[in-house]
Structure 1
Amino acid sequence: MSRSLVQPVGQKRLTNVAVVRLKKFGNRFEIACYKNKVLSWRSGVEKDLDEVLQSQIVYSNVAKGVLAKSSDLKAAFGSDDQAKICLEILEKGELQVAGKERESQLSNQFRDIATIVMQKTINPETQRPYTISMIERLMHEIHFAVDPHSNSKKQALDVIRELQKHYPIKRSPMRLRLTLPKPNIDALEGKLSEWNTVIFSKDESASNFSIVCELDPGFFRDCDALVRNLLGRSEILAISVHGEGDIHADHYDGHEDVSSSESKKPAEPSIVELSEKMQKQTMAPKEDNNEGQVKQKICSTCDAVVGDAKQYREHFKSDWHKQNLKRKTRELPPLSAEECLADEELSDSKKDLNEYSF
């Protein structure tokens, strides 16, 4: 009985890889990468290119193992140096992800945008922020669609503008201290009245006059420019003021566009409050193990006790754990909950300043 011969396949099929695709001059070029490494490379966490690329070869179809033609590479990139072309595709190409992964990414980004909107807005009647679930519902009602290629904070500001057209919502005010010479105070007070600014206190010294006030963030740039022209200085006491508390920003190194005053170190009470909030969300209190008590789990990455099995799973989704994972890849020691949150709050505050005004 004759048997059919199995002919070898002349294609090298690559499966279970992350594909980065770039379309140029009507042709499609792809490179095969390791999963979860492309984003690490683009964020600057991963530096070794060999850890990102499966091979420095350009394909026209990675799944079928079809290589790109040299003539197409020269026409599109002006060269057939595959190493340089791989770098360009890695930087500019689109990462191909499965449907479920894309849905998960969009869902997480939608939640991040809603969180930013909640932090930056208040109900004008109660002077308190809306709940995260209410913000998400309002975003669905205005048919907001997440743009995965755009910054979450920029999209959050766009959402706020759109929500203000339909619902009672406004930006939470900034708290400022404005200091300038006495002869120029009248010009400043006239503008503050025009901007509907709430003045809390006035302090007069030998030659200067100081005002503590709450200002709509949309007028901050104009206000800071006016104070500079009047030979004064502005100091941010709180980026976002809510009825139930403030979100502080006490340290702004290198932000000459924001304040001409000297930078301050983070205030200890604010860091303590933030750390307590993080511990409630991600960490169970350390207690002596008594009989009948649920066994506490330890996260080796963060070097901390994180509670029972449910809290342990939630901990892996926290920013604290994610930041320590990045530090671990760079062989840095883990941060505590207080250090992590203080670092994030400081970093976010600096980035917000250039995006805060409409």
Structure 2
Amino acid sequence: MSLVSSGHRLGASTAPHVLEVYLDYVCPFSAKLYKRVRNEVLPYIEENYPGKVQFIFRHQIQPWHPFSTVVHEAALAVEKIESTKFFQFSDKLFEVQQQYFDESVHNLSRAQIYESLAKHVKEIGMSDSQFLSLLYIPVVSEIEKARNEGNKITSDLKLHIKLGRETRIHVSPTVLFDKIVDNEVSSGWNFDQWKEWLAKKVVYSQDSADTNFGIGVIPEYQTWYICSKGLTNYINYILQVVKTPENATSGFGINEVGNRPQVYDKEGLLVFVSNYTFIRSLIDQNAPKVLYLPDLSCGTEPVQKCEGLTDPPLDSEQIYCLGVVNPNKYETKFTASISFTKGAARPPLVIPIEEITPTESTPTKATPPKDTLSPSDTRSFILPNDNIANKLDMTEALTKPRNVNHTLYKLYDWMERGLIDTNPEFQRDIVWNNTKQCHLIDSILKNYYVPPILFSCKKLDRNRWLRICIDGKQRLTSIRRFMNNEIPYLCPSEGRTKKTYYENIDDDEQYSNALSVGEKEDFDNSELVCIEYYDLTILQEQEIFSRVQLGLALTTAEKLHVFTSPIAELAKNILEQYPSINKIVDNKRGKPFQLIVQALHMMELNPTKFSANPGVITKYLQDDRSVPQELKQKSSRVFAELDFLIKVDDEIFTKDHRFAPIEFVFFCYILAKFSDLEMAWYQDTLLQMKEYVRKYHADIRFNQTVYKTLWNFVEQVDDNLQPDNILEKGQLQVSDKERTHQIDSIYREIATMVAEKCVNPETKRPYTVTMIEKAMSELHLSVNVNRNTKSQVLEVIKQLQEKKIIPIARAQMRLRITTPIKEKKVKEKLTPLISNLEDESYGDEYELICTIDPGQFRTINELLQSNTNGKGQLELLSLNDISEGDIKF
């Protein structure tokens, strides 16, 4: 094996598992992950999984880190001189990483960066002269003789980069386990998360020998499995169900809850032989399917006895496992003898007391009759595969597509008859402008290359086919618009003055310059290459679209978009009605939709334990039941209030920290659980929630631990709102000295907020905090520590106005309001709600800029929503419209 393909390795090359990391020396996230793995994870693996996991470092240079190439060359040069120093030098590079950030080296030449790196080479006890001799570019006397071949490391680096491209690795850090990319792993993981991940990934196997025997006990609906200690192409086993008072043999196999199997009329066990990846899938409730070797398994129905022998041995060596699923409603015991080493004697099957003898009708062969196998015989996630030993990496492969050429006229005819769907749910809108569409027509007429159209074909009635456009919507739309005379052909060499249309309709002067009969015939008969898939699911169509458009696999959030159940439609309507949600959460790749669904799930079911993993949410969206009326009403109120809070002050959601997805879901739950409270209370609670969760967690992720913390916060909020609790203890329990300090602090805070929110209505100027405090003292105001501060601010303003201690009024909000021009009645309803109209304009829409009393904001917002069918827009220009001298703020 070449050095490049084997990578930079730590641990025995014979270890059955491989942990690979693709890293960039100048990527901060790569540094974070590398240090965690190098300093904590690898020592833990060596201690707890000796000889089972090898670690491989691979180079992944990111083009947006322009100086990264030079640093990776340095690491390869060190390895070439003294391979044992590679990881020591890598430790040093990640330690001094910032010295090679753009800001540090952008004024340095390539040679100067090499010299800087040479200093670190000397620090690890190596010769800098030998190091630099590998990296310096040979000097040529004449520029014509330059060959641009790089240095003595360039060819090695090319091979490393080529390997990354061939394995379709695009970013750093990327982690693979046993050659499979695991997007779950994050550079932000702590040590406990790594340990939990390793426990799931590392094979359970007997360390004592490759021949294993004993008694296994499987609780109802659970799974038991055991795997080979190393790579093998051999298995020889016999297994039999028994009734015995004996306990399970210690250390023999492992039990896990597993993916609940189908319930059968027959009693017995389902027995599978597969590789480690798919045996682990038996216990993954989200696994789409589990492939197994039918000739070595009894997987179509429960059996009392099963045995298998690889004769001849399998074609490829892998970690092979024996998995046993209990489909019975009671605990089931069995005895088994297993060998994974060819030539090693399999011990005789030890039958404990009270043996159950199989009846003549009980299958004892490992190979089920293939003609009896049908989808109804087994759960959909368990699928036989005779060639699993050679095709394990192709389990998610699609059916092979058909390449075919279709004429433009045929494609146009299909579009006109509705036999091509260019608007499936995952497609984008039309984004090409007229000019770009016209340029495509030019390419077709001049026989330039046009990329293929990608279709998913569905059989209709009367031998007709519906073609769903996965890729090529912009091209098809351009062709259709041209053939409908909606756009002309513009020859780029003649500018935009000469417009040639597809055909002249009714001697219309507009279309007088049209294609000739011959040109039109040539255009109609031009062909486009089309790639046609058959029998794809909607999810597979969406997956192809994502890969074609983005070069990336679909995220969990994007996969959820495919569902069309009533609850999915409710979530989509919410997102469409309240686009403001995109301001406060990550709005890329379907994330807002996923968060709304998770919020609905929590609002409806009130789960005290974390249950928002992809499997649970997918099941929730698959449910075709009608949306309960209570949830409809609750969600309507919650997201209307959330929309209002965002419009009033969207910065409060991202203040100090970004608004984490789990915080969004819990804040929606808070809005649902605690209704009809002041806006200020919700704002305060939001800030308290963000502060509370960050006391306990540095990384706010959507997991069980953070979920429990936020659930505790909600319970505390609930307790604080209980009337008896507030009357007896108050919301804060403090000493007299602390309470005095607290009262003074709240008093000052109220005065400050009043000064910020109010002005002298005669001068439009703000008051100082001292002036407000003096006016408050004349009110003989007492602060209530158990009341929300902002609600007390409103009360102070009201009392100051009523008793006329000083002339005071709320600072006006400044708004821009836009409505469709036809909605004249809206203007009439808005006029009495506006304090001052500053500007208005009429065009395609009616727009006005005005100031209002803050108390009218909600009324105006509701007026626009109800009277313009959601087409009216309300933009907050400023919260406090005040003046200082001649300057307006």
Q: TM-score, normalised by structure 1?
A: 0.42
Greater relative contact order: 1 or 2 (C-alpha under 8 angstroms, separation 6 or more)? 1
Q: TM-score, normalised by structure 2?
A: 0.18
Over alpha carbons, which structure has the higher Rg? Answer: 2
